[in-house]
Chains A and B, each alone.
Chain A
Amino acid sequence: MAQPFWGKTGSLSILAGAQTGVSEEDARILRGLRAGIEEAYEELIERYEHPVYSIVFRLIANPSDASDVVQDVFLKVFRGVQSFRQQSSLRTWIYRIAVNEAHNHRRWFARHCRREVPIGNEHCEHTDPLDFATDPGRSPFDQALDSENRLMIEQALTRINPVFRTAVVLRDIQNLSYEEIAEILQVSLGTVKSRILRGREALRRELTQRDAGFAEAMA
Protein backbone atom coordinates (compact mmCIF):
# COMPACT_ATOMS: atom_id res chain seq x y z
CA MET A 1 0.00 0.00 0.00
CA ALA A 2 1.37 3.37 -0.97
CA GLN A 3 2.31 5.78 1.81
CA PRO A 4 -0.06 8.75 2.01
CA PHE A 5 1.25 12.12 0.97
CA TRP A 6 0.71 13.44 4.47
CA GLY A 7 2.39 10.93 6.78
CA LYS A 8 2.32 10.47 10.52
CA THR A 9 3.10 13.62 12.47
CA GLY A 10 6.42 13.64 14.23
CA SER A 11 7.59 15.05 17.52
CA LEU A 12 9.61 18.17 18.15
CA SER A 13 13.34 17.69 18.28
CA ILE A 14 14.57 21.03 19.52
CA LEU A 15 17.70 19.57 21.04
CA ALA A 16 18.93 18.16 17.77
CA GLY A 17 22.42 19.00 16.62
CA ALA A 18 23.43 21.32 13.84
CA GLN A 19 21.46 20.74 10.70
CA THR A 20 22.57 21.67 7.25
CA GLY A 21 19.69 21.51 4.82
CA VAL A 22 16.23 20.16 5.42
CA SER A 23 15.59 16.93 7.28
CA GLU A 24 13.01 14.40 6.15
CA GLU A 25 10.65 15.62 8.84
CA ASP A 26 11.05 19.24 7.74
CA ALA A 27 10.60 18.24 4.11
CA ARG A 28 7.33 16.51 4.96
CA ILE A 29 6.01 19.58 6.76
CA LEU A 30 7.14 21.82 3.92
CA ARG A 31 5.38 19.65 1.35
CA GLY A 32 2.24 19.84 3.42
CA LEU A 33 2.48 23.61 3.82
CA ARG A 34 3.06 24.13 0.12
CA ALA A 35 0.12 21.90 -0.74
CA GLY A 36 -2.13 23.76 1.71
CA ILE A 37 -2.74 20.77 3.96
CA GLU A 38 -4.35 21.82 7.22
CA GLU A 39 -2.49 19.28 9.37
CA ALA A 40 0.86 20.68 8.23
CA TYR A 41 -0.09 24.14 9.42
CA GLU A 42 -1.29 22.71 12.70
CA GLU A 43 1.90 20.75 13.22
CA LEU A 44 4.08 23.75 12.43
CA ILE A 45 2.24 25.80 15.03
CA GLU A 46 2.40 22.93 17.51
CA ARG A 47 6.14 22.55 17.07
CA TYR A 48 7.28 26.13 16.90
CA GLU A 49 4.80 28.25 18.84
CA HIS A 50 6.52 27.94 22.21
CA PRO A 51 10.16 28.11 21.07
CA VAL A 52 9.45 31.14 18.90
CA TYR A 53 7.50 32.78 21.69
CA SER A 54 10.36 32.11 24.09
CA ILE A 55 12.94 33.69 21.76
CA VAL A 56 10.82 36.71 21.00
CA PHE A 57 9.88 37.15 24.65
CA ARG A 58 13.56 37.41 25.64
CA LEU A 59 14.64 39.67 22.80
CA ILE A 60 12.04 42.40 22.61
CA ALA A 61 11.90 45.42 24.86
CA ASN A 62 8.29 44.94 25.87
CA PRO A 63 7.41 41.29 26.54
CA SER A 64 3.67 42.01 26.49
CA ASP A 65 4.04 42.53 22.73
CA ALA A 66 5.54 39.07 22.26
CA SER A 67 2.26 37.58 21.01
CA ASP A 68 1.94 40.19 18.28
CA VAL A 69 5.51 39.63 17.16
CA VAL A 70 5.00 35.86 17.14
CA GLN A 71 1.98 36.34 14.93
CA ASP A 72 4.09 38.36 12.49
CA VAL A 73 6.72 35.63 12.54
CA PHE A 74 4.22 32.92 11.63
CA LEU A 75 2.64 35.13 9.01
CA LYS A 76 6.04 35.52 7.34
CA VAL A 77 6.69 31.82 7.64
CA PHE A 78 3.38 30.91 5.99
CA ARG A 79 3.89 33.43 3.24
CA GLY A 80 7.55 32.66 2.69
CA VAL A 81 7.29 28.91 2.69
CA GLN A 82 6.88 28.84 -1.09
CA SER A 83 10.18 30.65 -1.58
CA PHE A 84 12.09 28.87 1.19
CA ARG A 85 15.10 27.39 -0.63
CA GLN A 86 15.83 24.73 1.99
CA GLN A 87 19.48 25.69 2.33
CA SER A 88 19.08 25.64 6.10
CA SER A 89 16.85 23.65 8.40
CA LEU A 90 13.26 24.69 8.86
CA ARG A 91 13.90 25.46 12.51
CA THR A 92 16.89 27.68 11.72
CA TRP A 93 14.89 29.54 9.10
CA ILE A 94 11.98 30.13 11.46
CA TYR A 95 14.25 31.22 14.28
CA ARG A 96 16.02 33.63 11.92
CA ILE A 97 12.70 35.22 11.08
CA ALA A 98 11.86 35.37 14.79
CA VAL A 99 15.15 37.07 15.66
CA ASN A 100 14.79 39.58 12.84
CA GLU A 101 11.20 40.36 13.76
CA ALA A 102 12.16 40.78 17.40
CA HIS A 103 14.94 43.21 16.44
CA ASN A 104 12.58 45.13 14.19
CA HIS A 105 10.07 45.38 17.00
CA ARG A 106 12.74 46.47 19.45
CA ARG A 107 13.79 49.26 17.09
CA TRP A 108 10.17 50.24 16.55
CA PHE A 109 9.60 50.27 20.29
CA ALA A 110 12.66 52.44 20.83
CA ARG A 111 11.37 54.94 18.29
CA HIS A 112 7.73 55.07 19.30
CA CYS A 113 7.18 54.06 22.88
CA ARG A 114 10.25 55.16 24.76
CA ARG A 115 8.93 58.63 25.48
CA GLU A 116 5.43 57.59 26.30
CA VAL A 117 4.21 57.73 29.86
CA PRO A 118 2.37 54.52 30.70
CA ILE A 119 -1.01 54.70 32.39
CA GLY A 120 -1.69 51.57 34.36
CA ASN A 121 -0.73 48.18 33.01
CA GLU A 122 -1.16 48.96 29.36
CA HIS A 123 0.77 48.93 26.15
CA CYS A 124 4.37 50.16 26.22
CA GLU A 125 4.71 49.31 29.89
CA HIS A 126 7.37 46.82 30.73
CA THR A 127 5.69 43.73 32.03
CA ASP A 128 7.32 41.62 34.70
CA PRO A 129 8.64 38.54 32.88
CA LEU A 130 7.84 36.41 35.91
CA ASP A 131 4.16 36.97 35.30
CA PHE A 132 4.53 34.67 32.35
CA ALA A 133 6.71 32.02 33.95
CA THR A 134 5.31 29.72 36.58
CA ASP A 135 6.53 26.64 38.36
CA PRO A 136 3.66 25.30 40.44
CA GLY A 137 5.60 22.22 41.60
CA ARG A 138 7.66 24.06 44.22
CA SER A 139 6.93 25.34 47.73
CA PRO A 140 5.97 28.99 48.15
CA PHE A 141 9.30 29.77 49.87
CA ASP A 142 11.36 28.13 47.15
CA GLN A 143 9.26 29.79 44.52
CA ALA A 144 9.81 33.17 46.15
CA LEU A 145 13.58 32.61 46.31
CA ASP A 146 13.72 31.31 42.78
CA SER A 147 11.55 34.14 41.58
CA GLU A 148 13.90 36.68 43.10
CA ASN A 149 16.93 35.13 41.46
CA ARG A 150 15.19 34.70 38.17
CA LEU A 151 13.96 38.24 38.23
CA MET A 152 17.50 39.44 38.79
CA ILE A 153 18.77 37.43 35.85
CA GLU A 154 15.88 38.44 33.63
CA GLN A 155 16.47 42.08 34.39
CA ALA A 156 20.20 41.79 33.88
CA LEU A 157 19.51 40.10 30.56
CA THR A 158 17.41 43.04 29.39
CA ARG A 159 20.22 45.46 30.20
CA ILE A 160 22.96 43.94 28.09
CA ASN A 161 23.60 44.80 24.46
CA PRO A 162 20.86 43.27 22.27
CA VAL A 163 23.42 41.81 19.88
CA PHE A 164 25.09 39.87 22.67
CA ARG A 165 21.77 39.09 24.32
CA THR A 166 20.55 37.41 21.15
CA ALA A 167 23.55 35.12 21.02
CA VAL A 168 23.28 34.27 24.72
CA VAL A 169 19.54 33.60 24.50
CA LEU A 170 19.95 31.31 21.51
CA ARG A 171 22.83 29.44 23.12
CA ASP A 172 21.98 29.26 26.81
CA ILE A 173 18.20 29.45 26.85
CA GLN A 174 17.25 27.90 23.53
CA ASN A 175 20.20 25.51 23.72
CA LEU A 176 21.12 25.85 20.06
CA SER A 177 24.50 24.84 18.72
CA TYR A 178 27.07 27.40 17.64
CA GLU A 179 26.58 26.37 14.02
CA GLU A 180 22.84 26.90 14.19
CA ILE A 181 23.31 30.29 15.83
CA ALA A 182 25.73 31.25 13.08
CA GLU A 183 23.10 30.29 10.49
CA ILE A 184 20.35 32.15 12.28
CA LEU A 185 22.33 35.32 12.76
CA GLN A 186 24.06 35.00 9.38
CA VAL A 187 27.49 35.54 10.91
CA SER A 188 30.67 33.47 11.14
CA LEU A 189 31.31 30.89 13.84
CA GLY A 190 34.03 33.09 15.32
CA THR A 191 31.59 35.98 15.63
CA VAL A 192 29.11 33.72 17.39
CA LYS A 193 31.76 32.64 19.91
CA SER A 194 32.78 36.23 20.47
CA ARG A 195 29.20 37.38 21.00
CA ILE A 196 28.43 34.57 23.41
CA LEU A 197 31.59 35.30 25.38
CA ARG A 198 30.91 39.00 25.53
CA GLY A 199 27.26 38.43 26.36
CA ARG A 200 28.06 36.15 29.25
CA GLU A 201 30.74 38.53 30.46
CA ALA A 202 28.33 41.45 30.32
CA LEU A 203 25.71 39.44 32.15
CA ARG A 204 28.19 38.44 34.82
CA ARG A 205 29.25 42.04 35.30
CA GLU A 206 25.65 43.21 35.49
CA LEU A 207 24.81 40.60 38.10
CA THR A 208 27.85 41.16 40.25
CA GLN A 209 27.57 44.94 40.09
CA ARG A 210 23.85 45.16 40.70
CA ASP A 211 23.57 42.70 43.47
CA ALA A 212 26.46 41.59 45.61
CA GLY A 213 24.30 38.82 46.95
CA PHE A 214 23.95 37.18 43.58
CA ALA A 215 26.97 35.01 44.21
CA GLU A 216 25.32 33.49 47.26
CA ALA A 217 22.05 33.11 45.43
CA MET A 218 23.73 31.23 42.62
CA ALA A 219 25.80 29.09 44.96
Chain B
Amino acid sequence: MTCWSVKRRKTDYVDGRLRPGERSRLEAHLQNCDSCDLEINEMRSVRSSLRNLLKPDAPAALRTRLRVIASYERHVLLETNGSRVRRVWNNWKFRINQMMRPLTIPATGGLLSSLLLFGALALTISTTTRAVQYEVPVYYENHIDPNLVPLELRSSVFLTLSLDGSGRITDYAVQQGESKSFVGDPARLQGNNISLPEFPERSRSGDISISFIPVVYRP
Protein backbone atom coordinates (compact mmCIF):
# COMPACT_ATOMS: atom_id res chain seq x y z
CA MET B 1 0.00 0.00 0.00
CA THR B 2 1.35 3.41 -0.95
CA CYS B 3 1.26 6.65 1.03
CA TRP B 4 -1.37 7.99 -1.38
CA SER B 5 -3.61 5.00 -0.67
CA VAL B 6 -3.17 5.53 3.06
CA LYS B 7 -4.12 9.17 2.66
CA ARG B 8 -7.33 8.16 0.95
CA ARG B 9 -8.22 5.57 3.54
CA LYS B 10 -7.10 7.19 6.75
CA THR B 11 -10.54 8.55 7.66
CA ASP B 12 -12.08 5.11 7.24
CA TYR B 13 -9.20 3.63 9.22
CA VAL B 14 -9.53 6.06 12.11
CA ASP B 15 -13.29 5.50 12.19
CA GLY B 16 -12.86 1.73 12.05
CA ARG B 17 -14.63 1.33 8.73
CA LEU B 18 -11.94 -0.56 6.82
CA ARG B 19 -12.31 -4.22 5.96
CA PRO B 20 -9.90 -6.50 7.87
CA GLY B 21 -7.68 -7.12 4.82
CA GLU B 22 -7.30 -3.47 4.00
CA ARG B 23 -6.77 -2.64 7.61
CA SER B 24 -3.88 -5.05 8.04
CA ARG B 25 -2.23 -3.83 4.82
CA LEU B 26 -2.52 -0.23 6.00
CA GLU B 27 -1.12 -1.07 9.42
CA ALA B 28 1.78 -2.83 7.77
CA HIS B 29 2.46 0.35 5.80
CA LEU B 30 2.32 2.45 8.94
CA GLN B 31 5.03 0.37 10.56
CA ASN B 32 7.39 1.33 7.77
CA CYS B 33 6.26 4.94 7.12
CA ASP B 34 6.74 7.48 9.90
CA SER B 35 5.10 10.25 7.92
CA CYS B 36 1.83 8.36 7.44
CA ASP B 37 1.96 7.10 11.02
CA LEU B 38 2.28 10.66 12.28
CA GLU B 39 -0.65 11.82 10.15
CA ILE B 40 -2.84 8.99 11.39
CA ASN B 41 -1.91 9.73 15.01
CA GLU B 42 -2.66 13.40 14.59
CA MET B 43 -6.00 12.60 13.06
CA ARG B 44 -6.78 10.30 15.96
CA SER B 45 -5.84 13.07 18.36
CA VAL B 46 -8.05 15.56 16.60
CA ARG B 47 -10.90 13.09 16.63
CA SER B 48 -10.54 12.24 20.30
CA SER B 49 -10.20 15.92 21.20
CA LEU B 50 -13.44 16.66 19.41
CA ARG B 51 -15.16 13.75 21.12
CA ASN B 52 -13.99 15.01 24.49
CA LEU B 53 -15.46 18.43 23.98
CA LEU B 54 -18.13 19.12 26.53
CA LYS B 55 -21.64 19.32 25.26
CA PRO B 56 -22.92 22.86 25.60
CA ASP B 57 -25.66 23.21 28.17
CA ALA B 58 -28.87 24.51 26.70
CA PRO B 59 -30.19 27.49 28.65
CA ALA B 60 -32.92 26.59 31.10
CA ALA B 61 -35.24 29.13 29.51
CA LEU B 62 -35.05 27.30 26.19
CA ARG B 63 -37.14 24.40 27.46
CA THR B 64 -39.86 26.78 28.56
CA ARG B 65 -39.80 28.56 25.23
CA LEU B 66 -40.01 25.28 23.36
CA ARG B 67 -42.96 24.21 25.49
CA VAL B 68 -44.74 27.45 24.71
CA ILE B 69 -44.15 26.92 20.99
CA ALA B 70 -45.30 23.31 21.27
CA SER B 71 -48.43 24.33 23.10
CA TYR B 72 -49.29 26.95 20.51
CA GLU B 73 -48.60 24.65 17.57
CA ARG B 74 -50.63 21.89 19.18
CA HIS B 75 -53.52 24.27 19.65
CA VAL B 76 -53.29 25.36 16.00
CA LEU B 77 -53.12 21.74 14.88
CA LEU B 78 -56.24 20.81 16.79
CA GLU B 79 -58.00 23.93 15.54
CA THR B 80 -57.15 23.43 11.88
CA ASN B 81 -57.28 19.64 11.97
CA GLY B 82 -53.90 19.51 10.27
CA SER B 83 -55.06 21.36 7.17
CA ARG B 84 -52.42 23.64 5.76
CA VAL B 85 -55.01 25.70 3.92
CA ARG B 86 -56.92 26.35 7.11
CA ARG B 87 -53.71 27.28 8.89
CA VAL B 88 -52.85 29.83 6.19
CA TRP B 89 -56.43 31.12 6.24
CA ASN B 90 -56.34 31.47 10.02
CA ASN B 91 -53.03 33.30 9.82
CA TRP B 92 -54.44 35.77 7.32
CA LYS B 93 -57.59 36.14 9.33
CA PHE B 94 -55.53 36.94 12.38
CA ARG B 95 -53.40 39.46 10.48
CA ILE B 96 -56.41 41.18 8.97
CA ASN B 97 -58.07 41.24 12.36
CA GLN B 98 -55.02 42.84 13.93
CA MET B 99 -54.73 45.31 11.09
CA MET B 100 -58.40 46.31 11.11
CA ARG B 101 -58.93 46.45 14.85
CA PRO B 102 -57.78 50.08 15.30
CA LEU B 103 -60.01 51.12 12.40
CA THR B 104 -63.09 49.16 13.37
CA ILE B 105 -64.89 51.70 15.58
CA PRO B 106 -64.29 54.78 13.37
CA ALA B 107 -65.04 52.82 10.23
CA THR B 108 -68.24 51.33 11.64
CA GLY B 109 -69.39 54.71 12.92
CA GLY B 110 -68.74 56.32 9.57
CA LEU B 111 -70.47 53.51 7.71
CA LEU B 112 -73.55 53.65 9.92
CA SER B 113 -73.73 57.43 9.63
CA SER B 114 -73.48 57.20 5.86
CA LEU B 115 -76.17 54.55 5.71
CA LEU B 116 -78.51 56.62 7.86
CA LEU B 117 -77.88 59.78 5.88
CA PHE B 118 -78.27 58.26 2.47
CA GLY B 119 -81.18 56.15 3.64
CA ALA B 120 -83.01 59.31 4.74
CA LEU B 121 -82.17 61.07 1.49
CA ALA B 122 -83.22 58.09 -0.57
CA LEU B 123 -86.76 58.42 0.76
CA THR B 124 -87.03 61.85 -0.80
CA ILE B 125 -85.41 60.96 -4.08
CA SER B 126 -87.61 59.23 -6.57
CA THR B 127 -88.02 59.21 -10.32
CA THR B 128 -91.51 57.75 -10.33
CA THR B 129 -94.71 59.52 -9.42
CA ARG B 130 -96.19 58.55 -6.12
CA ALA B 131 -99.67 59.15 -4.83
CA VAL B 132 -99.38 61.56 -1.93
CA GLN B 133 -101.72 63.88 -0.13
CA TYR B 134 -100.93 67.56 -0.27
CA GLU B 135 -102.67 70.46 1.24
CA VAL B 136 -102.02 73.62 -0.65
CA PRO B 137 -102.11 76.57 1.72
CA VAL B 138 -103.64 79.73 0.38
CA TYR B 139 -102.92 83.03 2.05
CA TYR B 140 -105.87 85.30 2.45
CA GLU B 141 -105.78 88.90 3.56
CA ASN B 142 -106.61 88.15 7.14
CA HIS B 143 -105.90 84.47 7.60
CA ILE B 144 -104.26 81.40 6.19
CA ASP B 145 -106.28 78.38 5.31
CA PRO B 146 -103.98 75.45 4.86
CA ASN B 147 -106.82 73.08 4.00
CA LEU B 148 -108.32 75.10 1.30
CA VAL B 149 -107.32 73.01 -1.64
CA PRO B 150 -106.80 69.40 -0.74
CA LEU B 151 -105.11 67.70 -3.62
CA GLU B 152 -104.21 64.21 -4.27
CA LEU B 153 -101.26 64.30 -6.56
CA ARG B 154 -101.05 61.25 -8.70
CA SER B 155 -99.16 62.93 -11.48
CA SER B 156 -97.96 66.38 -12.36
CA VAL B 157 -100.49 69.00 -11.42
CA PHE B 158 -101.05 72.16 -13.47
CA LEU B 159 -102.25 75.03 -11.42
CA THR B 160 -103.55 77.79 -13.60
CA LEU B 161 -103.89 81.12 -11.92
CA SER B 162 -105.88 84.02 -13.22
CA LEU B 163 -104.48 87.35 -12.16
CA ASP B 164 -105.84 90.83 -12.10
CA GLY B 165 -103.97 93.96 -12.99
CA SER B 166 -102.41 94.12 -9.51
CA GLY B 167 -101.03 90.64 -9.76
CA ARG B 168 -103.61 89.22 -7.47
CA ILE B 169 -105.08 85.85 -8.08
CA THR B 170 -108.65 86.10 -9.17
CA ASP B 171 -109.18 82.56 -10.18
CA TYR B 172 -107.38 79.34 -10.33
CA ALA B 173 -107.83 75.95 -11.80
CA VAL B 174 -106.17 72.69 -11.10
CA GLN B 175 -105.64 70.19 -13.81
CA GLN B 176 -104.28 66.88 -12.78
CA GLY B 177 -102.51 64.87 -15.43
CA GLU B 178 -104.40 64.56 -18.67
CA SER B 179 -107.82 65.02 -17.06
CA LYS B 180 -109.81 68.13 -17.81
CA SER B 181 -111.32 68.43 -14.40
CA PHE B 182 -110.98 71.82 -12.78
CA VAL B 183 -111.29 72.54 -9.17
CA GLY B 184 -111.48 76.03 -7.96
CA ASP B 185 -113.40 78.58 -5.99
CA PRO B 186 -112.53 82.08 -7.14
CA ALA B 187 -114.69 83.62 -4.49
CA ARG B 188 -112.56 82.21 -1.76
CA LEU B 189 -109.37 83.39 -3.35
CA GLN B 190 -110.34 87.05 -3.51
CA GLY B 191 -107.97 89.26 -1.68
CA ASN B 192 -105.17 86.72 -1.25
CA ASN B 193 -101.67 87.94 -1.65
CA ILE B 194 -99.80 84.93 -2.91
CA SER B 195 -96.53 86.06 -4.41
CA LEU B 196 -95.07 83.89 -7.05
CA PRO B 197 -91.59 84.74 -8.42
CA GLU B 198 -92.39 83.11 -11.73
CA PHE B 199 -94.93 85.82 -12.47
CA PRO B 200 -94.10 87.88 -15.51
CA GLU B 201 -92.50 91.21 -14.92
CA ARG B 202 -95.49 92.98 -16.37
CA SER B 203 -97.82 91.53 -13.75
CA ARG B 204 -95.49 92.52 -10.91
CA SER B 205 -95.43 96.09 -12.04
CA GLY B 206 -99.24 96.20 -11.87
CA ASP B 207 -100.01 96.19 -15.54
CA ILE B 208 -103.31 94.76 -16.42
CA SER B 209 -102.69 91.32 -17.54
CA ILE B 210 -105.58 89.04 -17.48
CA SER B 211 -103.86 85.93 -18.46
CA PHE B 212 -103.26 82.43 -17.42
CA ILE B 213 -100.06 81.53 -15.67
CA PRO B 214 -99.50 77.81 -15.38
CA VAL B 215 -97.76 76.66 -12.25
CA VAL B 216 -96.72 73.04 -12.24
CA TYR B 217 -96.34 70.98 -9.10
CA ARG B 218 -94.41 67.84 -9.60
CA PRO B 219 -94.56 65.35 -6.80
The interface residues of chain B lying within 8 Å CB-to-CB of A208 are: 42
The interface residues of chain A lying within 8 Å CB-to-CB of B82 are: 34, 82
How far is the CB of B50 from the nearest CB of chain A, in Å?
4
Known contacts A53-B62, A82-B84; is-contact A197 B69 (Cβ 8 Å) = no
Known contacts A45-B63, A71-B69, A197-B11; is-contact A66 B56 (Cβ 8 Å) = yes
> Chain B interface: which size bin?
35 or more
Known contacts A45-B66, A150-B53; is-contact A204 B46 (Cβ 8 Å) = yes
Cα of A201 to Cα of B8 in the assembled complex, Å: 12
Chain B interface mostly: helix
A-B contacts, 7 listed (Cβ < 8 Å): A49-B62, A78-B69, A78-B77, A133-B55, A171-B15, A173-B50, A200-B43
> Chain A interface: which size bin?
35 or more
Which of A50, A83, A153, A200 is in CB contact (< 8 Å) with B58? A50
A134 within 8 A of B: yes
Please, which residue of chain A has its CB at the minimum distance from the CB of B82?
A82
* Structural contact, B11 and A218, CB atoms closer than 8 A: no
Please, which residue of chain A has its CB at the minimum distance from the CB of B67?
A45
How far is the CB of A82 from the nearest CB of chain B, in Å?
5
Segment 1-59 of B: residues with Cβ below 8 Å from A: 10-12, 15, 17, 42-43, 45-59
* Structural contact, A41 and B74, CB atoms closer than 8 A: yes
Segment 161-211 of A: residues with Cβ below 8 Å from B: 168, 171-173, 175, 178, 193, 196-197, 200-201, 203-204, 207-208
Cα of A83 to Cα of B82 in the assembled complex, Å: 10
Segment 81-119 of B: residues with Cβ below 8 Å from A: 82, 84
